[in-house]
Amino acid sequence: MVQERTLPTFNTATTRITKEEGLRLYEDMVLGRLFEDKCAEMYYRGKMFGFVHLYNGQEAVSTGVIQAMRPGEDFVCSTYRDHVHALSAGVPAKEVMAELFGKATGCSKGRGGSMHMFSAEHRLLGGYAFVAEGIPVAAGAAFQTKYRREVLKDESADQVTACFFGDGAANNGQFFETLNMAALWKLPILFVVENNKWAIGMAHDRATSQPEIYKKASVFNMVGTEVDGMDVLAVRAVAQEAVARARAGEGPTLIEALTYRFRGHSLADPDEMRSKAEKEFWFARDPIKKLAAYLIEQNLADDEEIKAIDRKIQGVIDEAVKFAESSPEPDPSELYRFVFAEDE
């Protein structure tokens, strides 16, 4: 069993959250969970092809960070586990599902599939199949914001970029090179490590000389913090602080969210490397159940309101599948479109 780190504590008594905010966070996480469950069903029914990497269990990270930003204005850069980041960023579920089906109505016109979600409209910079590939791309987006504000004197340029990647990417050279430049230039960026303990079949503790990734921020004179990635309120609080610092011109933050994927690395993974005890340790910390219990305990919602959201989102997912199934395939005559930028 992988050695478990003590999860950081978060004082919920100091949390300031309205009913509207709480239900919005819950709805966003449920959307991610039910969407991924449906993806598994569709994959095994032969509706999706290639590698499909699901996000089950990690929803508090996507929701906590992206909902602390300005969806549609701020930038989000993902990995090959990108469906839920796209949903949190505001890409409609039907467009994400259609992309997974390889249809022309998908957010990447059916050309990206599971690992390459992209939406200029929603400031989603893309999913990336190569480990750590998105880190320098995200830094580029943050740099253009800073350049526009400081050099071109564009006062509207105050966007923040969130860059998501896994624990395995933190051993990659692009991680170190990009964090160094981001710190030197005080870029408005959040580097969010979704430490789910495993890089495919390699246990995190066996792959790095310093398992506590957030501590690596210190060598770049950058703020580094760890957070319980199974607690959306804790993630949101850390993200809000980091976003405020970035928007104020105070530079980047490295956030290590301790989380866990409830399924194998991909739907092609039999998931035999992880022990039953390890899985049960993390299953008991389901972030969606945790938030639902908190909302009811704090009288911010009742059981029926929670169930109503579940039913509502299930309807959204069902409609997304119908949309994807009825959408056309990309026309073969457009094979070479979107290879290069086109005029509006």
Backbone torsions φ then ψ of 186, nearest 5 degrees: 50, 55
Domain boundaries, the chain: 15-324
Backbone torsions φ then ψ of 123, nearest 5 degrees: 60, 30
Dist. CA 130–CA 318, nearest whole Å: 31
Band the pLDDT of 10: cuts 50, 70, 90.
confident
The contacts of residue 343 (CB under 8 Å, 6+ apart) are: none
Dist. CA 242–CA 109, nearest whole Å: 34
Task: Say what the pLDDT of residue 21 is.
Answer: 97
Task: Say what the pLDDT of residue 13 is.
Answer: 64
3.40.50.720, 3.40.50.970, 1.20.120.1150, 3.40.50.12780: CATH of 15-324: 3.40.50.970
Task: Say what the pLDDT of residue 11 is.
Answer: 73
Task: Say what the pLDDT of residue 197 is.
Answer: 95
Band the pLDDT of 96: cuts 50, 70, 90.
very high
CA distances in angstroms from 169 to 131, 219, 250, 251, 303, listed in the order given? 6, 17, 25, 21, 40
* Token pair 């319980």 in the structure block, residue: 228
What confidence tens digit (pLDDT) does each residue in 51-76 have? 999 999 999 999 999 999 998 999 99
Residue 327, pLDDT above cutoff 60: yes
Dist. CA 279–CA 289, nearest whole Å: 16
Q: State CA 268 to chain mean position distance.
A: 21
Backbone torsions φ then ψ of 80, nearest 5 degrees: -80, -10
* Token pair 């994400």 in the structure block, residue: 96
Token reading at 44: 């095994």
Helix (H) or strand (E) holding 165: strand 161-166
First-last CA distance in the chain: 54
Q: In terms of C-beta density within 10 A (0-12 exposed, 13-18 middle, 19 or more buried), how is residue 168 classed?
A: buried
Q: Are 165 and 176 in contact (CB under 8 A)?
A: no
pTM of the model: 0.95
Helix (H) or strand (E) holding 281: helix 276-283
Residue 2, pLDDT above cutoff 70: no
Residue 341, pLDDT above cutoff 90: no
Task: Say what the pLDDT of residue 339 is.
Answer: 85
| Closest by Cα among 298, 70, 87, 328 to 78 | 87
Give me the mean pLDDT over the 197-207 stretch: 92
Task: Say what the pLDDT of residue 1 is.
Answer: 44
